[in-house]
């Protein structure tokens, strides 16, 4: 019987969620995890761009993955990109080529549907995917130090909301134009990315995660923003943007956040921080490769192999991890 790539629905999805919960449960209860996964699919962006798929041998699930229909700016052009995330093979089937077969089926479908590139994330290292013609993308996590001053900066910072999303999309485009690789972050995608972080915090145990979406505005327009997750005494900047090319407003926003509780020890702050963003209030104390390895594959019947990327060529936020 031929292997079949199919959407994970009904009892098949229930089976996949039970299998993947120990790996990607994110500290949620199993009930909250299933609500989280299903709710993402029901967002405006998720309904048309996100799908859980399985590779079937008859009725048996051999492997599963999330399939994303993305757009990215690659070497100056907007390209249609297949994103592959959360590849999972049941323990009893590992080492038999199920994951490789799933990827091959997804790549074949992407070729047919007109995608030009495939992006995926691996938390098991690059070796398996390099055998499938993927190459690693240099992606870095930075540890940031905020240069504090006495008192809070004279800056108005407020909670962000839906009216800010069009301005945020403009800020992201300004940063992406100068990169060789960056997601094309539409307004619906931005709403999806922020909603995903909010749901993860809201469905988890009380006080486990806290999410802040903040903006600085001028003339009733958002001119800088950041989304920050606080978890176990650490801050992760999920995404940020600033009309100021240096990012000075984002730096000032972090100073405002820290000034709210001056008696506390400053948290460790990390971000997948673009090299082009250099707020004068911040010092990049360290850059190291991200734990999750991002990999790319041009689809050869459509695109010539792209020149190697450097970390400074890439703008990809932690909130975009899939």
What's the confidence (pLDDT) of residue 255?
A: 94
* Alpha carbon distance 200, 208 (integer Å): 10
Computed on alpha carbons and rounded to an integer, the radius of gyration of the chain in Å comes to 20
Cβ within 8 Å of residue 231, ≥6 positions away: 208, 209, 210
What's the confidence (pLDDT) of residue 305?
A: 64
Q: Which three-class secondary structure state does DSSP give residue 81?
A: strand
Q: What is the pLDDT along the chain (322 residues), one digit of tens a residue?
A: 689 999 999 999 999 999 999 999 999 999 999 999 999 999 999 999 999 999 999 999 999 999 999 999 999 999 999 999 999 999 999 999 999 999 999 999 999 999 999 999 998 888 889 999 999 999 999 999 999 877 667 788 999 999 999 999 999 998 898 899 999 999 999 999 999 999 999 999 988 999 999 999 998 899 999 999 999 889 999 999 999 999 999 999 999 999 888 767 889 999 999 999 999 999 999 999 999 999 999 997 655 567 899 999 999 999 999 9
End-to-end CA distance of the chain: 32
* Alpha carbon distance 143, 65 (integer Å): 31
What are phi and psi for residue 77, nearest 5 degrees?
Answer: -130, 145
What are phi and psi for residue 18, nearest 5 degrees?
Answer: -60, -40
* Alpha carbon distance 125, 152 (integer Å): 43
What's the confidence (pLDDT) of residue 151?
A: 64
What's the confidence (pLDDT) of residue 302?
A: 59
Instruction: Write down the pTM of the prediction.
Output: 0.93
Residue pair 307/270 in contact (Cβ under 8 Å)? The answer is: no
Closest by CA position to 199, among listed 213, 211, 207:
211
**Tokens found for residue 66:** 């999330």
* Alpha carbon distance 84, 125 (integer Å): 15
**Tokens found for residue 24:** 């990607």
Q: Which three-class secondary structure state does DSSP give residue 11?
A: helix
* Alpha carbon distance 189, 173 (integer Å): 13
Residue pair 7/51 in contact (Cβ under 8 Å)? The answer is: yes
What's the confidence (pLDDT) of residue 1?
A: 61
Across 10-139, where does the E strand assignment appear?
50-57, 60-74, 77-88, 117-122, 135-137
Closest by CA position to 199, among listed 84, 38, 67:
38
């Amino acid at each position: 019987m031929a292997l079949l790539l199919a959407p994970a629905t009904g009892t098949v999805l229930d089976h996949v969620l039970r299998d993947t919960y120990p790996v990607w449960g994110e500290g949620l209860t199993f009930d909250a995890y299933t609500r989280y996964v299903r709710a993402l699919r029901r967002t405006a962006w998720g309904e048309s761009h996100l799908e859980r798929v399985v590779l079937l041998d008859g009725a048996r699930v051999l492997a599963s993955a999330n399939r994303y229909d993305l757009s990215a700016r690659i070497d100056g052009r907007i390209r249609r990109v297949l994103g592959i995330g959360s590849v999972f093979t049941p323990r009893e089937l590992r080492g038999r080529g199920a994951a490789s077969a799933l990827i091959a089926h997804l790549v074949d479908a992407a070729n047919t549907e007109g995608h030009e590139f495939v992006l995926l994330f691996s938390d098991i290292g690059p070796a398996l995917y390099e055998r499938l013609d993927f190459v690693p993308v240099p992606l870095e996590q930075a540890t940031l130090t905020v240069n504090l001053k006495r008192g809070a900066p004279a800056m108005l910072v407020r909670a962000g909301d839906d009216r800010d999303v069009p301005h945020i999309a403009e800020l992201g485009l300004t940063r992406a134009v100068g990169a060789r690789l960056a997601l094309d972050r539409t307004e619906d995608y931005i709403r999806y990315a922020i909603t995903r972080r909010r749901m993860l915090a809201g469905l988890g145990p009380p006080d486990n995660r806290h999410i802040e979406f903040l903006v600085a505005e001028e003339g009733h327009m958002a001119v800088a923003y950041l989304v920050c997750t606080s978890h176990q005494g650490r801050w992760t900047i999920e995404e940020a943007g600033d009309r100021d090319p240096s990012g000075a407003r984002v730096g000032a926003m972090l100073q405002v956040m820290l000034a709210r509780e001056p008696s506390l020890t400053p948290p460790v702050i990390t971000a997948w921080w673009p090299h082009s963003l250099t707020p004068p209030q911040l010092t990049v104390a360290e850059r190291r490769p991200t734990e999750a390895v991002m990999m790319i594959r041009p689809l050869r019947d459509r695109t010539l192999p792209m020149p190697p990327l450097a970390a400074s060529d890439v703008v990809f936020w932690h909130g975009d991890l899939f």
